[in-house]
Structure formats: structure tokens, C-alpha cells
């Protein structure tokens, strides 16, 4: 965790919060409202203070060094590079970037690594492929390469085996990837209806890149912001008619923590043979059993499952009796090994982190429930979103026995103009992502939708929404921080 500035000086350290000490930690601190806006607008004053960030958005310094070295050896003065994990990945990137940028790009080899070499004007498109596909070179892989210690082999099967006690799926039905978005992208590509040119359907306001992946790598996406009422009935009818290559949703959604009526959606998908893909990242498999309804469940292993904020990974799990199980397993097995494999050193860190998953989620669940309840009663708060308060009956239908409502919640103030002041004075860690051992707060809409705020507002996601990822601190520490900050509301 690295601060952008020395103010406020109490950030994290003085509160005794548990922070990742790994040089590969992927957290970034944006301690003030102005620093968030500066980050989004690319202000040099803010960006020059960043040392690291979320790897799909902000390349780790070691990864940047790898890119610089590769560029110096295989690119010309007016070219840029994208280093990718495998030959298959760079070939896909080649086709996508060339088509999107309308310019020629080429593939080069750099001491065994695969490099996409692009004209400078195509760099934004190459960066978009890195971000949305999730097919990345991790900082550990880059460091091992630069130090001449690159390792072969895989331990992804051990991760699948370890998580099987939470997912209930056989290990050979789960496939581990280099990131959660790589898992989502792979599932999208594997849908049989994609070959027929069918669009996908997104139900409920999703995490931003889940929708972008369908837009960029699919045949187009039909988006239903709220899966209720007549619009929902119409969507179910269109599902039953077999219109879509697949139906995507999250349980619960991020950041509004809403859960759709999965019984009705799963039945409509079953009637037409349309695959249902559910992402359970917001609360994780210890809390929800999404595989009872889904053909495929996608999971970010970066968040709650790791619980440390120091490694990226993702997983796709196929329901054994799904009509598309054989096709999906074949495709995902190939992609997870040939396109976006999890580097062995990252797998080892994740395996170590997994040992604490069940224990820390019990604390997170309790903190999340208590904080949501406390905020909902606070006179300065207009609305709180949390599965214990939002679409609770639908969430309960998918909640696992012994599970909980998770540690992710969102809220808005009655006086939205006070939000920057509340955020600035909140003595908790502040920045993107969730699932860290420390409580993490962010102005989610500014970070995820800064260049489409009007659209997000139209979807019911306020520009002033604050999202909270509850950590492992004593509940009293978290509530005291909110009570102090909300005095300014």
C-alpha cells in the first residue's frame, strides 16, 4: 500500500492496520477526493507519486522495466510494445489490435517471451487489450525473467483442489487463469453461440470491465440495468427464444450489491439451452453457491479468496451436468494453459493465502453486516446497499449454508455535496479494489466511470457513491472512523 502524499499522515500506518508488505502488492492509495480526480485526469502531480497500482490498469515498475528492455531490443523509435504471456495470447492480441487500430502490427520474440510491436498511435489499443483481456505478465514473472530465474511448471491444479471444498465442484471442472478478467474473457470466447454471431445479455449493473469485455470481444451485448418488472419479463422471453449466446450476471452486483431472481433466469436459460454465467467475486464461494444456478461461475481470486492484495488470479468453474459442460471444459482447459496461465510463483503465493480464506471471511462477514446496519441508521446517510439490505430474498436463495452477506457495501449521503469532505477526513485506507485485509474505501463511480458519469447516473449509480470493502480490523475501529468522518456530513 503506497500513499500518494504525506497527507493525511494517519493513513493506515498510524492506525495499526494490516498492510501487505510484498513488493508485488497491487493496492494504491488515493487519500483525497482531489487525488482521485487527478488520477483520472492524468495530472502529472498525482501520477508521479504513484509507485504501483492495479496491474491491469497500472503496470508494476518491474513490468515496466521488462517492457522498456523489450522495446529497446525489438522495436524502433516510433514503436511501442506489449509483452504477453504466451504465443496464443500474442496472436489473439495481434488480430484484435490490428483490427481495432486499423494499422499493421507485428509479433516479435524477446528471449523466449512474446511481444506485440505496435506503432505509437496503436499503443492505446494495445493497452486496452492488456486491460480488458486480463492476459498479463505478472510482476513476479517479470522479476524472475529479468533476474534470469524464469520458472516452468504449474500449480494451478493445486489451487483448484484447494478451492473445491468451497465451490463443491470437482477440481477438474475448475480452471485457473492469470486474472479474473482472463477467466471471463475465456468463458465468453467459448460460448457456442458466439460462432453464430449472437449477442450476449448482461443482467444488472455490473463491474465495469465485465460489460466492456462483452462489448470488445463479443458480438455485442444487450444490457438490462435492473432485472425487475416488465423489462425483466421481456428479457426472460428473449432468453427462452434462444436469442443470446449467453447470459451474464453477478451475485451480488458491484457496486449496488443487488441480486437477480436466479430461479427465473436459470429456468429460462435451461428452456433454451442458453449458458448462464454468474460471477461470484463480490462475496465469494464461501458465501454463495452460484454453481447451483449457473452453467459457469467466474471468480476473481485476487479479492476475498486471496485476502491479501498481493497476487492476481481468476477461475472459471463449470457445472458438471450443464449441457455445455464438455465444450466449456475443453475450451477453458486450453485457454488456462495456452493463453492466460497463472505463473507458478503467483500460484504459490495464492496457495499460501488460501489457508486463511475461511477464517478471514467470517470476520469480514461480521464486519460487513455490522457496518451496513450502522450506516443504514445514521442520520446523514441516504441509502446503503448491501446484500443484507438489498434484494435480500434473492441473495438468500443463493447463499450457502453457513455463509454470510460479505464485506462489500456502498452508500450515499443525504447531502451529496458533503461527500468529498467526508471522504477526505475518513481515517481508513482509500483506493480501488476490494478484498484486502484492511478496510478500503473508494469513490467507486469516479474511479470506474469517470468518463461516463452521466451514463452511470442514469443507471442509478451516483457520482458520489462510496464503496466500502470491510477488512479485519476490530469493528470498533471501523465504526469510529466513519463516525468521525460523518460528523462533516
Please compute the mean of the pLDDT values over residues 63-74 and round it to a whole number: 96
At 15, is the pLDDT very low, low, confident or very high (cuts 50, 70, 90)?
very low
User: What mean pLDDT is predicted for residues 292-306?
Assistant: 97
Q: Is the pLDDT of residue 14 over 50?
A: no
- Evaluate whether the domain defined by 13-19+29-49+357-486 bears CATH number 3.90.1150.10: yes
CA distances from residue 62 to 59, 112, 146, 182, 226 in whole angstroms, order as listed: 8, 18, 9, 21, 42
What span, in angstroms and rounded, lies between the C-alpha atoms of 257 and 110? Answer: 44
Minimum mean pLDDT range among 35-39, 75-79, 114-118, 422-426: 35-39
Task: Band the pLDDT of 45: cuts 50, 70, 90.
Answer: confident
pLDDT over 70 (residue 27) = no
Query: Residue 463 has which C-alpha cell?
Result: 457520482
pLDDT score of 17 more than 60: no
pLDDT tens digits, one per residue of 129-167: 999 999 999 999 999 999 999 999 999 999 999 999 999
Of 53-62, 193-202, 257-266, where does mean pLDDT reach its minimum? 53-62
d(CA 303, CA 467): 15
Q: According to the model, what pLDDT value does residue 52 have?
A: 64
Q: Per-residue b/e over 21-45, b at no fewer than 16 CB within 10 Å? A: eeebbbbbbbbbbebbbbbbeeeee
Nearest alpha-carbon partner for 392 in 411, 405, 375, 378: 405
Q: Are the C-beta atoms of 291 and 401 separated by less than 8 Å? A: no
Q: Give the tens place of pLDDT for each residue, 387-439.
A: 999 999 999 999 999 999 999 999 999 999 999 999 999 999 998 889 999 99
What is the number of other CB atoms lying within 10 angstroms of the CB of residue 289?
21
- The span from the CA of 172 to the CA of 293, in Å, is 19
Residue 23 has pLDDT above 70, yes or no: no
Strands 200-203 and 221-224: parallel
Task: Give the separation between CA 302 and CA 24, rounded to whole angstroms.
Answer: 12
Q: Are 287 and 405 in contact (CB under 8 A)?
A: yes
Q: ∠ at Cα 164 (201, 296), nearest 5°? A: 15
Domain boundaries, the chain: 13-19+29-49+357-486, 61-133, 156-354
Q: pLDDT for 444-459, tens place per residue?
A: 999 999 999 999 999 9
The closest alpha carbon to 467, from 279, 255, 221, 227, belongs to 255
C-alpha cell at 309: 492484495
Give residue 2's pLDDT: 31
Q: Residue 115 pairs with which residues in a beta bridge?
A: 83, 108
In the chain, % helix, strand, coil (3-state, to 5) comes to 45, 15, 40
Q: Which three cell numbers stand for residue 183?
A: 477467466
Convert 234-245 to b/e letters by CB count within 10 Å (16 or more is b).
ebbebbeeebbb
The CATH number assigned to the domain with range 156-354 reads 3.40.640.10
In whole angstroms, give the CA distance from residue 489 to residue 471. 23
Q: How is residue 206 annotated by DSSP?
A: P
pTM: predicted TM-score of the whole model, two decimal places: 0.93
Mean pLDDT within 9-31: 51
In tens, the pLDDT along 466-483 reads 999 999 999 999 999 999
Name the percent of the chain lying above pLDDT 90: 87
Q: Is 33 helix (H, G, I), strand (E, B) or coil?
A: helix
Residue 20 has pLDDT above 50, yes or no: no
Confidence of residue 4 (pLDDT cuts 50, 70, 90): very low
pLDDT mean over 304-321: 96
For every residue of 376-415, DSSP letters joined together read HT-TTEEEEE-TTTSSHHHHHHHBPTT----SEEEEEESS
pLDDT at res. 432:
86
pLDDT bucket at 59, cuts 50 / 70 / 90: confident
Specify the DSSP class assigned to residue 304.
I
List pLDDT tens digits, range 315-347. 999 999 999 999 999 999 999 999 999 999 999
Cell of 20: 501487505
Q: Do residues 116 and 105 touch, judged by C-beta distance below 8 A?
A: yes
Average confidence score pLDDT of the chain:
92
Amino acid at each position: 500500500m503506497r500513499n500518494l502524499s504525506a497527507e493525511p499522515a494517519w493513513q493506515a500506518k498510524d492506525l495499526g492496520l494490516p498492510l501487505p508488505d510484498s513488493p508485488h502488492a497491487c493496492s494504491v492509495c488515493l487519500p483525497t477526493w482531489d487525488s482521485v480526480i487527478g488520477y483520472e485526469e492524468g495530472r502529472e502531480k498525482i501520477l508521479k507519486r504513484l509507485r504501483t497500482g492495479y496491474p491491469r490498469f497500472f503496470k508494476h515498475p518491474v513490468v515496466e522495466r521488462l517492457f522498456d528492455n523489450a522495446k529497446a531490443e525489438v522495436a524502433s523509435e516510433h514503436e511501442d510494445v506489449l509483452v504477453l504471456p504466451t504465443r496464443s495470447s500474442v496472436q489473439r492480441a495481434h488480430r484484435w489490435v490490428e483490427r481495432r487500430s486499423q494499422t499493421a502490427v507485428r509479433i516479435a520474440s524477446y528471449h523466449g517471451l512474446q511481444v506485440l510491436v505496435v506503432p505509437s498511435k496503436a499503443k492505446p489499443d494495445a493497452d486496452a487489450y492488456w486491460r480488458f483481456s486480463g492476459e498479463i505478465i505478472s510482476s513476479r514473472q517479470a522479476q524472475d525473467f529479468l533476474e534470469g530465474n524464469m520458472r516452468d511448471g504449474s500449480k494451478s491444479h493445486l489451487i483448484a483442489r484447494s478451492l473445491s471444498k468451497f465451490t463443491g465442484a470437482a477440481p477438474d471442472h475448475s480452471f485457473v487463469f492469470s486474472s479474473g478478467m482472463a477467466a471471463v474473457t475465456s468463458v465468453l470466447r467459448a460460448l457456442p453461440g458466439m460462432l453464430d454471431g449472437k449477442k450476449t445479455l448482461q443482467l444488472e449493473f455490473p463491474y465495469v470491465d465485465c460489460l466492456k469485455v462483452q462489448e470488445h470481444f463479443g458480438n455485442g451485448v444487450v444490457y438490462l440495468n435492473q432485472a425487475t418488472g416488465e423489462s425483466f419479463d421481456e428479457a426472460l422471453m428473449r432468453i427462452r427464444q434462444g436469442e443470446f449466446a449467453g447470459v451474464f450476471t453477478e451475485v451480488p452486483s458491484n457496486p449496488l450489491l443487488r441480486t437477480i431472481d436466479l430461479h427465473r433466469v436459470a429456468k429460462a436459460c435451461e428452456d433454451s439451452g442458453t449458458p448462464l454465467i454468474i460471477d461470484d467475486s463480490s462475496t465469494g464461494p464461501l458465501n454463495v453457491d452460484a454453481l447451483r444456478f449457473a452453467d459457469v461461475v467466474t471468480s476473481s481470486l485476487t479479492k476475498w479468496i486471496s485476502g491479501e492484495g498481493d497476487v492476481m488470479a481468476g477461475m472459471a468453474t463449470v457445472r458438471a451436468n450443464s449441457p455445455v459442460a464438455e465444450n466449456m471444459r475443453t475450451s477453458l482447459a486450453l485457454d488456462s494453459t495456452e493463453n492466460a496461465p497463472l505463473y507458478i510463483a503467483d500460484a504459490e503465493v495464492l496457495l499460501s493465502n488460501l489457508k486463511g480464506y475461511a477464517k478471514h471471511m467470517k470476520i469480514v462477514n461480521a464486519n460487513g453486516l455490522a457496518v451496513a446496519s450502522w450506516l443504514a441508521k445514521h442520520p446523514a446517510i441516504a441509502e446503503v446497499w448491501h446484500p443484507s439490505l438489498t434484494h435480500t430474498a434473492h441473495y438468500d436463495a443463493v447463499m450457502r449454508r453457513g455463509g454470510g452477506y460479505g464485506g462489500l457495501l456502498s452508500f450515499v449521503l443525504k447531502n451529496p455535496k458533503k461527500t468529498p469532505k467526508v471522504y477526505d477526513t475518513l481515517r481508513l485506507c482509500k483506493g480501488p479494489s476490494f478484498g484486502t485485509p484492511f478496510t478500503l474505501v473508494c469513490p467507486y463511480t469516479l474511479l470506474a466511470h469517470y468518463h461516463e458519469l452521466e451514463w452511470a447516473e442514469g443507471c442509478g449509480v451516483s457520482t458520489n457513491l462510496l464503496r466500502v470493502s470491510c477488512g479485519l480490523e476490530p469493528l470498533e475501529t471501523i465504526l469510529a472512523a466513519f463516525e468521525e468522518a460523518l460528523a462533516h456530513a
